[in-house]
Amino acid sequence: MLSEIEAGYLSRIARGQTAEDIAAEDGISLQAVLDALNGAEGELGAMNLMDAVTKAVRLGLIKDDSSIP
């Protein structure tokens, strides 16, 4: 359902990173990260990014490790 990249970005968002953080760490454009996150939202039928994270966790597509530093 989600690509490995989309799931990875959603997992990082769940841990508190921003799209800007992800782009800087990965050395890619912010737009590339936003495109992947928007794709994940669409695939999950989410209303926004937090809804996408919640749905991905509920579906077991990403782990709920947001409390792990």
Paired tokens of 17: 């990173």
Tell me: pLDDT of 65 over 90.
no
pTM, full prediction? 0.88
% residues pLDDT > 70 (the chain): 91
Per residue in 18-50, pLDDT (tens digit) is 999 999 999 999 999 999 999 999 999 999 999
Q: What is the DSSP string of 10-44?
A: HHHHHTT--HHHHHHHHT--HHHHHHHHHHHHHHH
